[in-house]
Structure 1
Amino acid sequence: MADVGAPKDVRPGTGTAARTGAGGGRAAAGYTFRTAAEWAEFGAVLDLAYGGHPHSPAHSAVVGALFEPKRSLVACYGGRPCATLAGYALEMTLPGGPAPVAGIGYVAVAPPHRRRGLMRELLRKALTALHEERAEPVAVLHSTEPGIYGRFGFGLASQAVEVSVPPEARAFAGEVVAAGLTLDVVSPDEAHAAVADVYRACLSQRPGLLRRDAAWQRRAVEDEPAGRHGAGRLLCMVVSGPGGDARAYALYRLRPAWERSRPRYALSVREVFACDPAAYAFVWRSLLDTDLAGAVTAACCPVDDPLLALLDDPRSAAPTVRDQLYARAVDLDRALTARTYSAPVDVVLEVRDVMCPWNEGRWRLCAEPGGGAVCVRTGAAADLALGARDVGAVLLGGGSLAQLALAGRVAELRPGALRAASAAFRHDPAPYCPTAF
């Protein structure tokens, strides 16, 4: 298993293998593909693909508990795994409510086997299987690098914002009213029930949030010592209401630091969820008032996070937007009818989809706000022309068809169609997915 060396008959970056990988064809000869037998098969590939950093036994136990072998694929050369793709059956909040989605993770190719079309073939096989089995209509993934998955029809479906609040910018624009709220700081294990209850109550608030069973909650609060990078253990701040019910929580850790003999600990926030605005403001007020803390940094907040409105000086928090979740329609008609729409829409879409050719062609989408949608093939003239990547970008309501049109990626073929469709697809609040998979 440890030997994932380069095939001796194909030199990296040259000849047919390189042209096949870059040009969109099938994988180079000599490779076989099959479903995974166990999580351990991924180990050697991931170790090499991510720079020789093997997973610890503790982390392998956490991600191994989530592993679904029948949904996961490996590419082999000489009988040994050299590329991987993990598949998950997930439930995600879409505009309008929860829906099944197919999660994709750990797409990795060992260095000696890159540029041979293995990633493309793994994704093609996974998407084709979902289509043929009439499984989940939408596929989602997180990307290590932002430029990888657009060519496979995945669009940027949600963004996240990083904020770092310095000590001098902690004032709120208004007064925080505690209203009988109380605070406790415990370990994530001690706060297990509170975290689960609050997160469950927040599920319907935003598209992109995943339902977490026990195994996924364990992943959300994972606290591997090797991943602390000099910081302390993971802590959980729990806000309770007058009746003792959990109303908010924050997962965070502190890394010791001193400046001119004064403590300036770096406080890193992993995630914050709250059942109501008062609890949200209270938990953030408590995080910013933590003893010893210098800058308070949250690397992954919703792009429209209320914190940016709470702060009197949001500029000093240096909000930085980055890409987050990517999505694509597996079956276009089922994907577009799995969600609701914010405005009336009656539009004919002409869709290009090389990766999933069954989606190619013209589709008429009709829906009323908040109601059921209908999407059927049509021979009518198209109103908008777009690619699979652009469909993925608006599936969760985060992307803007109007913005994509200004970028030249969506073409308006009937005047007025773009504005109406863009308003229908958008969702407020913005989508957000803090769960890694």
Structure 2
Amino acid sequence: MTYPIRPIDESEWPAFAGVLEEAFGWTPHPTQAGRFKAETEFDRTLAAFDGDTIAGVTSIFSLTMTIPGGQLPVAGVTAVSVLPSHRRRGVLSSLMRRQLTDIRERGESVAALYASEALIYGRYGYGRAASELAFRIHKHASAFVREAPQDPSLRLRVAKPADVRGELEKLFASVVTRRPGRYERRSQTWDGLLADEEFDQRGAGTLRSILVEDDGGVRGYALFRIKSSSDDNGVPDGTLKLYELEAADPAAYALLWRSVLDRDLVTKLEAGGRPVDDPLIALLADQRQLRASWADELWVRLVEVDRALSSRAYAAPVDLVVEVEDDVCPWNARRWRLTADLSGAECKPVEEEPDMTLPVAALGSAYLGDGLLGEQLDAGLLREHNPGSVRRLATAMSWSPKPWAGLTF
């Protein structure tokens, strides 16, 4: 059975939202639903119809994302959902294929998403491209190494986040290009991040901010809430929940962390979603005291292999012929010669014998600089025809710092 697919208009929002509620088992607060609607790009929001019923949906945020060596327009895929009554009927496959075709026609060569279920998106050519850590740190075990950077010109300023929004936005814009996966934020994104209604607090207290600055301006900020509590003896045992910490330089970064870790009446800090190479790990004198849990973060799909690979920078010279397998986007399924050095890259179709054969998802996983090409080769998921070629490609596509988006879209 085929399901007609088209973009929705604003009048169809209730039906669109109803699919999300059923698929995710989600009952949004009216405020939450309103914010999501305000961010929705209706011309990029697709629905599959079974008669008059919307059976499945998917949407896109038009992002400008940092990649190794620069920035690129990226399709931020979101709200992928199918009604429980229409699962396993081809609705999702039809939506994903149509969406990828639309992305290509729009001129974007890369798509990215956060996966609610990791089993789904490899089928459509997405590869896990970034990871994240969640930190739990006890205050008594948070001492820094003696060599931690300090700058006597720095000072801290407490402020209500809404009152310093312009300064926060300016600082973030100055650091967004430093790490692959970060993306420029729209006004609506900041609206949601700084929102502080009762729904947003969820028992964890008001949203707070602290800024680090010198006479030249703001050099960093932290956004957090404090959940106050006491133990059975009445001793303060609060938890600081860190949402964001951004800094322009190491000294500002270290001072911000010390500020949130040393907060009075707080015994522990929880930070969900930090980069896997967070400099905090190096700053801690006793790294064993850091409790961290791992999760996948961004998944990336190369919509047009040649344009995507030509757009990024490479950490080492490489000249290889890569045979790409892609049954969802057949225009990618051929042999490509990737030639790159520190000055630039070129990827063009060829008929030469390949150095390796790999699925397009493997390239997606490596695209932002933290791929697992070597591990996938060892697992038998890639085919290497020229020994050592996968290692050369993995080295060239590697990047520091590691990719991380930092804010779910």
Answer whether contact 2:19 2:55 (CA < 8 A) is retained: yes
Higher mean displacement: 251-260 or 222-231: 222-231
Unmatched 5+ residue regions in structure 1? 1-27
Aligned mate of 1:46, from 20, 44, 52: 20
Answer whether contact 1:400 1:426 (CA < 8 A) is retained: no
1:136 CA displacement: 0.7
CA-to-aligned-CA distance 1:64-100 (integer Å, 9 cap, x gap): 2221111110122231223210112110000011111
Specify the alignment match of 2:32 in structure 1.
59
- Secondary structure of the residue that 2:255 maps to in structure 1? helix
Specify the alignment match of 1:232 in structure 2.
205
1:63 partner amino acid: F
Answer whether contact 2:142 2:289 (CA < 8 A) is retained: no
- Do residues 215 (structure 1) and 194 (structure 2) align? no
TM-score by length of 2: 0.95
1:359 partner amino acid: N
Answer whether contact 2:47 2:54 (CA < 8 A) is retained: yes
1:355 CA displacement: 1.2
Aligned mate of 2:281, from 303, 308, 319: 308
Task: Go from structure 1 to structure 2 and tell me whether the alpha carbon gap of 1:176 and 1:345 turns closer, same or farther (over 3 Å shift).
Answer: closer
Aligned mate of 1:293, from 248, 259, 266: 266
Distance 1:220 1:362 in 2: 43
Unmatched 5+ residue regions in structure 2? none
Write out the 4+ residue segments of structure 1 that deviate beyond 4 Å after TM superposition.
none
Distance 2:273 2:281 in 1: 13
Task: Go from structure 1 to structure 2 and tell me whether the alpha carbon gap of 1:206 and 1:52 turns closer, same or farther (over 3 Å shift).
Answer: closer
1:405 CA displacement: 1.4
Specify the alignment match of 2:140 in structure 1.
168
CA-to-aligned-CA distance 1:120-148 (integer Å, 9 cap, x gap): 211110001222x1521000001112222
Answer whether contact 1:191 1:238 (CA < 8 A) is retained: no
- Do residues 154 (structure 1) and 154 (structure 2) align? no
- Do residues 263 (structure 1) and 263 (structure 2) align? no
Answer whether contact 2:139 2:262 (CA < 8 A) is retained: no
Specify the alignment match of 2:365 in structure 1.
393
1:110 CA displacement: 2.0
Specify the alignment match of 2:214 in structure 1.
241
Answer whether contact 1:239 1:283 (CA < 8 A) is retained: yes
1:221 CA displacement: 2.8
Aligned mate of 1:77, from 43, 50, 54: 50
- The number of equivalent residue pairs is 405
Task: Go from structure 1 to structure 2 and tell me whether the alpha carbon gap of 1:352 and 1:191 turns closer, same or farther (over 3 Å shift).
Answer: same
Specify the alignment match of 1:4 in structure 2.
none
Aligned mate of 2:331, from 348, 353, 358: 358
- Secondary structure of the residue that 2:39 maps to in structure 1? coil
Specify the alignment match of 2:112 in structure 1.
140
- Secondary structure of the residue that 1:431 maps to in structure 2? coil
1:242 CA displacement: 3.0
1:32 CA displacement: 2.7
Specify the alignment match of 1:188 in structure 2.
161
1:388 CA displacement: 1.2
Distance 1:325 1:144 in 2: 11
- Secondary structure of the residue that 1:191 maps to in structure 2? helix
Distance 1:410 1:224 in 2: 49
- Do residues 425 (structure 1) and 387 (structure 2) align? no
Answer whether contact 1:59 1:224 (CA < 8 A) is retained: no
Answer whether contact 1:194 1:238 (CA < 8 A) is retained: no
Answer whether contact 2:55 2:91 (CA < 8 A) is retained: no
CA-to-aligned-CA distance 1:242-289 (integer Å, 9 cap, x gap): 33x111111111122221311111111111110000000000000001
Distance 2:41 2:25 in 1: 25
Higher mean displacement: 270-279 or 188-197: 188-197
Distance 2:333 2:206 in 1: 50
Distance 1:224 1:387 in 2: 45
Aligned mate of 2:173, from 200, 209, 215: 200
Distance 1:158 1:265 in 2: 31
Task: Go from structure 1 to structure 2 and tell me whether the alpha carbon gap of 1:421 and 1:173 turns closer, same or farther (over 3 Å shift).
Answer: same
1:292 partner amino acid: L
1:190 CA displacement: 1.1
Q: Identity, % of aligned pairs?
A: 38
1:434 partner amino acid: G
1:208 CA displacement: 0.5
Specify the alignment match of 1:330 in structure 2.
303
Higher mean displacement: 139-148 or 277-286: 139-148
Task: Go from structure 1 to structure 2 and tell me whether the alpha carbon gap of 1:77 and 1:229 turns closer, same or farther (over 3 Å shift).
Answer: same
